[in-house]
A and B are shown apart, each in its own frame.
Chain A
């Protein structure tokens, strides 16, 4: 086998996510009345970026064979916080941004502590912390409102050189500055190793706890970034329960579409980004096809159902029935 084949094999999940997205996006653009214009791309990018941040956060945790059901609520909480403190001149704004991101990390830290050191099951632990985060959000914003530094918001949600959506640039920067270093670090490898086979990782002397903890922490950070961007898009903060749960749900869907294995150890946050864009495009595509908007949620649900069922095809290869139970 040649070198590129191995590369292909390594990136299979991510590339599947990319392919799904590209096909959907091509169909969408081809059927869009306006065609492939900067405007269409811009709108699609801004819609997708929010979910992309949350999906990356979810991917980090899922890679360790965990799950974070509080990720949407962290987004909501940081959104509400940002609508208070990311205001004013350059200095207060940057301090505010830092504080919002630190809050995201703190949420991730709490999840990580409970799961790794508290030895709680990730599902219930993060459902419970999600309730707490949502409560705090509600405390901050009992009613929708607030504001944000509009210059910064417009800069990050507008277009660079009139063509490139700056939200995409920001997303790319986060991939370069957060995801790639994590993936290349010892902690990142430990996260993968622990997710793939914890006993083998232990035997090999891998720092399992450090790896998992880093994943939860960065997951919180990325969800916080999502919250920040949500504020930039809407100029307000809102503690909306339904929106938080929807983000959590679609982050899991995006992760699955982006080729990240829910059993851990496989996939990448980049794949999750493609998965997020693909999930977002499903809705847009139906719009372009003139499907009644009413049908959108149902068709999205069916796409999701089919996508997760495809993963079970590997079962047909199981020859020892006891392997079902591992």
Chain B
């Protein structure tokens, strides 16, 4: 560790407690959210209306669930590129189970999530025990998942419409006025905060992300933790897919393609280091909202898809240059 980073740490230590605990990246992300809301309200007066905001949160919740899983993996210093087709797998398996009458419909959601966890297990074994770079294993399992789904949809012409329960989960409103998807996201978030801050597993995740050597020498079962993290990520991706299927009323091929980049971006923009070990869940929530709003405002401004992609990429690069740089080599 170089002296500069130590002095940077000590500068931070002199800040008042409240600011010290909050990552500047998280503050910036929330600042950007406010800025976007302000900008949006200049364009359209109903940008600040509760209906619109709730709608945004609902759209954000699918990304939020996926990003939660991605965050655990990134905290370890790994990455999960199998998100797109694991999401699709989850959605399709859930819809398929729903095709088997009442019994099927009642286990549809668990079936979807479990199929995602199975791919997570594959990823986890590859990364933790075979020590293949996570980027490669997850890419490969993405292809395998895609292949399975192609065979499945092409060969069996299965049911692809979501069951009522799945639809209700995504679009219903248990609490009047609040879409269930948001409630689900809040529940997942609460579980994540608990997992990351209150459990031995969460501590181990941060520990491994900071120094896998130190975690291993402390007697932590590092391989098991890494494997479980990938299982959680796979399960959450699939769950996000299930919700999305409920929102769209059906599962479709390539439905997850639009979620890989935003989920990574949300985690990184929320202040989590892509190298692992640093980041808070609240930042990821901020990142998810930020990205959803950015997408929304760009479409309200009637910016074409092209411009959205460009703005997107540039925003991520700028934020990374501000927070995500590696220490100088010498």
Contacts and interface: CB of A to CB of B under 8 A. Distances in A.
Interface in B146-189: 146-148, 150-151, 154-155
B48 interface: no
Contact of A121 (B155, B304, B308, B324): B324
A18 to B, nearest CB: 21
Contacts of A135: 305-313
Contacts of B305: 135, 138
Interface string B40-64: 0000000000000000000000000
Contact of B310 (A121, A136, A245, A296): A136
Given A120-B317, A135-B307, 19 more contacts: A119-B325, A120-B326, A124-B264, A124-B324, A128-B320, A131-B261, A132-B309, A135-B313, A136-B310, A202-B330, A249-B143, A294-B150, A297-B150, A298-B147, A301-B146, A304-B139, A308-B126, A308-B136, A322-B216
Interface stretch (A42-50, A92-100, A309-317): A309-317
Nearest to B314: A132
Contacts of B325: 118-120
B146 A297 contact: yes
Contacts of A129: 313, 317
B274 interface: yes
A258 to B, nearest CB: 14
B132 A295 contact: no
Interface in A232-269: 239, 241-242, 245, 249, 252-253, 256, 262-263
Interface string A26-69: 00000000000000000000000000000000000000000100
Contacts of B154: 294
B66 to A, nearest CB: 15
A228 interface: no
Given A297-B150, A304-B143, A127 B132 contact: no
B310 A262 contact: no
Interface string A273-312: 0000000000000000000101111111110110011011
Contacts of A299: 147
A315 B131 contact: yes
A132 B321 CA distance: 16
How many residues of A sit at the interface, in one of the four size bands? 35 or more
A72 to B, nearest CB: 12
B219 interface: no
A131 B313 contact: yes
A309 B312 contact: no
B131 A118 contact: no
A247 to B, nearest CB: 13
A299 B143 CA distance: 9
A144 to B, nearest CB: 14
Q: Which of B140, B141, B268, B311 has the most CB of A within 10 A?
A: B140
B92 to A, nearest CB: 14
Contacts of A182: none
Contacts of A134: 309
A311 B132 contact: yes
A228 B148 CA distance: 33
B79 interface: yes
B76 to A, nearest CB: 12
A24 B128 CA distance: 31
Contact of A138 (B137, B147, B264, B306): B306
Given A124-B264, A124-B268, A311-B132, A297 B309 contact: no
Contact of B328 (A119, A309, A324): A119
B133 interface: yes
A325 B140 contact: no
9 contacts: A121-B274, A125-B320, A128-B316, A132-B317, A139-B310, A299-B147, A304-B144, A322-B213, A325-B216
B211 to A, nearest CB: 8
B136 A298 contact: no
A78 B78 CA distance: 31
A123 interface: yes
Nearest to B79: A123
A114 interface: yes
A304 B126 CA distance: 13
Nearest to B267: A124
Give the 7 A-B CB pairs with smallest separation, nearest first.
Answer: A298-B147, A135-B309, A131-B313, A132-B313, A135-B310, A138-B306, A301-B143
Contact of A132 (B144, B146, B155, B310): B310
A125 B147 contact: no
Contacts of B306: 135-139, 142, 239
Contacts of B257: 241-242, 245
A224 interface: no
Contacts of A131: 261, 309-310, 312-313, 316
Nearest to B310: A135
Contacts of B304: 138-139, 142
A301 B316 contact: no
Interface string B283-324: 000000000000000000000111111111110110011001
A130 interface: yes
A321 interface: yes
